[in-house]
Structure 1
Amino acid sequence: MSNRRNPNRNRKGLLGRKRFTGWLLSFMAVFAVFALNSCSNPQQTATSPQPNPTNAPIQISKPAVIKLDYAYYNPVSLVIKEKGWLEEDLSKDNVKVEWVLSQGSNKALEFLNGSSLDFGSTAGAAALIGKANGNPIKSVYVYSKPEWAALVVGANSNIRSVPELKGKKIAATRGTDPFIFLLRALDKFGLTDKDVEIVPLQHADGRAALEKGDVDAWAGLDPHMAKSEVEQNSKLFFRETSFNSYGVLNVREAFAKDYPEYITRVLQIYEKGRDWAIKNPAEFKQILIKASKLSDAVAAKQLERTDLTNSAIGEEQKTVILAAGDVLKKSGVIKADTDIPKVVDALIDPQYLKKLAK
C-alpha cells in the first residue's frame, strides 16, 4: 500500500480553508460597517435618547372639531352659543365648534354614547344611569343647581298628594331627572313604579299629554313645566328641591384621554358664560326667550328656579346622586349588584375645574 497523500484531498482541503477565510473576512467587514454606523448615528439605537431641541415647542394634540350640546334646561349653554365665545377662542387653534340640541338628559346621554357629542348636559342622577349602564362619561362641571323637576297635574285635577297617584297614568321621560324625581317621590310614600302606569314621553310631549287630559299627572321639567304652569294654570302638587340632582356637564372619556387641555378650555368659557349670566340677568332672560321661544313670564319662572352661583363639582353632588342610586336599584333601572359608590366616584371628576382655580 502507498504512503503518498492523495492530491485531490489536499486540493479540496485547501479550497475549503480559503472559502472559510473569505466568509470570515466578509462577516468582519459587515460587522465593522454596522458598528461604525451605530457610533456615528446614536439615534438608531434603542437605548440612545432622541434629539430634542431645547427651544422646540411642545406639541399638544388637538381635535378638528368639538361637539357640544345646547339645551333649554341648560340656559348657560344658550349664552355661550349666542355669544360665540368658544368659536372665538378655539379659532386660534383652527378647531371648529358644532352645536347639537339636546331635548333631555336621555338624548344627551344617547349622543355622548354614540360620539355625536363630546360634551353633553344632563342631570347628575341621569348621568349615573348612563355610567352604570356602560356609557363612558365623566361629569366635570355643574352648570346649575335648579329646581327644574316636580310632579304636575292639570288645573282641574283633584289630585293633591303622591299617594293619590296609585293606579294613575303619569307621563315621564325615562332616564331623566323628572323620571328619577317621580321614582323618589313614590318611594317616599311607600309606592313603586309598579303601583302606577308610567307613560314614556319626551318632556314636551308629556306636557301636551297632561294639558289634553291623556294622562293624570306628569313628571315635569322646566321650561316646559313653567310654560304649563303660567299658560295653563297647571299645578305643581309635589315639590322637593333635594330630589333635583344638579345640572352637570359631561365629557366622553375618550375625549378626556386624548384632549385633556381642551376640557379646561371649554370649562373656562362655561365659567365666562355663567359669570356673565349672573351679572346680566335681563339680557340673560332675553337669550333664553329667543332660543326657546318662551314668553317673558315663562322665562322668568324658569330662571327664578335656577341657581348659577356655584359651579364646583364634588362631594355635594355625590351625596345627591348616591341617594338617587338607591331608588334606581330598587326600581330595576340600575342592576341590583351595581356598586353605586364606585360608579359615582368614577363619574364625578373635579380635576379639570380645579385647574382653572390655580
Structure 2
Amino acid sequence: MIQRRTLLRAAALASSPLALAARAAAPLQELRLDYAYYSPSSLVLRRFGWLEEDFKKDGVPVRWVLSAGSNRALEYLNAGSIDIGSTAGLAALLGRANGNPIRAPYIFSRPEWTALVVRHDSNIKTLADLKGKKVAATKGTDPYLFLLRALHVAGLKRDDIEHVALQHADGRAALEQGRVDAWAGLDPLMAASELDQGSRLIYRNVAFNTYGFLNVREEFLANQPQAVRRVIAGYERARQWILANTTEAAKILSEEAKVSLPVALLQIKLRTDLSHPLPTAEHVQALQAAAPILLSEQLVRPGTDLNRTVLELVDTRFAAPLLARA
C-alpha cells in the first residue's frame, strides 16, 4: 500500500504544473521547419537566414526540410521529423481529423494556388467534360480537395473520373505529356505550365482555395512557445519584406523553384494575398464551410465532429499579442 501511495504521489508530482513547466523549460536542441515553393515567405526567411541569426545566440541550429506539397508537410509533422510545417488549411484539417496532432497559429498567405488545368489543345472546356477522363491530383492536398469540390459543382462524383495519384510536379509532367487529360495544379508549377506550355485553366474558384496554414506540432507548441513566437516573428518579417519588395521576392521564388521570373511574378503578384496573417473567425468559418467534403468523400471516419476539429486546429489567440505589436 505504501509503495502504491508513493507511486501515485510521484505520478501526481510529475504531472503537476511545476513539473510541466520545468519540462517545458527544457532547452531547444534544434529548430526543424519546412520551406515550400507555395509559401514565398518561407523561401525569403530561409534565403536571408533570419531565423539562423536569431537562434544562433542560443546555440540552436536551424534545419530546413523541403515540402513538395501539403501531404509531405503533414507526413513530416506526424512523424515528428519537423516541428513546424506549411500546408493548405483544408489539408491541415484533414490531417488533424485523422489524428495528426497539430495546431495552426499563423496564416502565411491567402492564395489562389490551385485550379483545374488542361493542355492548350484539349477539347475539355467545362467541368462536365471531365466525366470519364483521367485527372491527376496529389491526395491529401488542397488541389485534390479542390478537385473533389469542383466535381460536386458539376454534379459529378469522384467515381465519375479516373483519379491518377501523382505528386504535383509529376502531375504537371503527365498533363503536358498527354498521359492524363487534366490536372489539379499547384503554383508555381501551374503558372509555369500556363506561361511556358500554354495550358488552360478550365475551372477557377478562389473560395475553394483554402488558406496557407503554418502548423505546429502540439507538443512543440506547449513545450517551446517562445520558439514558436520567434518563428512567427520571422515569418512576419518575411511577409513585410515581400510586401515592400515584391519583384525581389519573385526573383527568390524563381531561383528556388527553378521557374522563370514571369511565372514567379504571376504567383506572387496576382495569386498571393499576404494581408491577413492572424487566424480569425474568417478562417474558422471557411474551413467549416469546406469540411463537409471530407465526410461525403469518406476521407475521415463517419461521425467525425469536424466543426470541433476546426476549433481545435485554428489557434486564433496564440499569435494575437505578437501581431498586435507589429
Please confirm whether the aligned pair reaches a TM-score higher than 0.5, indicating the same fold.
Answer: yes
Q: CA deviation at 1:253?
A: 0.6
2:231 to 266, 281, 285: 266
Distance 1:306 1:336 in 2: 34
Mapping for residues 40-189 of structure 1, pairs under 5 Å: 60-189=25-154
Task: Kindly indicate whether the alpha-carbon contact (under 8 Å) linking 2:114 and 2:187 is maintained by their aligned counterparts in 1.
Answer: yes
> Are residue 322 (structure 1) and residue 269 (structure 2) matched?
no
| TM-fit CA distance, 1:257 | 1.4
Partner residue in 2 for 1:16: none
Task: Specify the SS of the correspondent of 1:297.
Answer: helix
**Cα distance in structure 2, aligned partners of 1:180 and 1:117:** 24
Q: Does 1:236 align with 2:205?
A: no
**Does 1:208 pair with 2:208?**
no
**2:20 matched residue in structure 1:** none
Structure 1 spans left out of the alignment, 5+ residues: 1-58
Separation in 2 of the partners of 1:336 and 1:164? 31
Question: Deviation digits for residues 15-70 of structure 1, max 9, x if unmatched?
Answer: xxxxxxxxxxxxxxxxxxxxxxxxxxxxxxxxxxxxxxxxxxxx943311010100
Match of 2:18 in 1: none
Describe the SS at the equivalent of 1:214. Answer: coil
Alpha-carbon distance, 1:282 to partner: 1.8
CA distance in 2: counterparts of 1:282 and 1:174, whole angstroms: 32
Q: Distance in 2 between matches of 1:232 and 1:161?
A: 20
RMSD value, Cα? 1.1
- Once the two structures are TM-superposed, the CA of residue 95 in structure 1 deviates from its matched residue by 1.3
% identical aligned pairs: 51
Deviation at 1:351, TM superposition (A): 2.2
Alignment of 1:335 with 2:301, yes or no, is: yes
Partner of 2:221: 256
The residue identity in structure 2 corresponding to 1:101 is: L
Partner Cα separation in structure 1 for residue 223 and residue 297 of structure 2 = 36
Kindly report structure 1 stretches of 4+ aligned residues shifted beyond 3 Å.
none
Q: Decide which moves more: 80-89 or 187-196.
A: 187-196
| CA distance, structure 2, for counterparts of residue 266 and residue 200 of structure 1 | 33
Name which one, 1 or 2, has greater alpha-carbon Rg. 1
The one-letter code matched in structure 1 to 2:28 is P
Instruction: Tell me the distance in 1 between the aligned counterparts of 2:73 and 2:46.
Output: 17
Match of 1:352 in 2: 318
Query: Distance between the aligned counterparts of 2:153 and 2:120, measured in 1?
Result: 25
- Residue 352 of structure 1 and its aligned partner are, at CA, apart by 2.2
Q: How many residues align?
A: 300
Structure 2 unpaired stretches of 5+: 1-23
Higher relative contact order (Cα pairs below 8 Å, separated by 6+ residues): 2
Question: Which has the larger displacement, 102-111 or 255-264?
Answer: 255-264
Cα offset, 1:228, TM superposition: 0.3
The whole-number CA distance in structure 1 between the counterparts of 2:54 and 2:255 is: 24
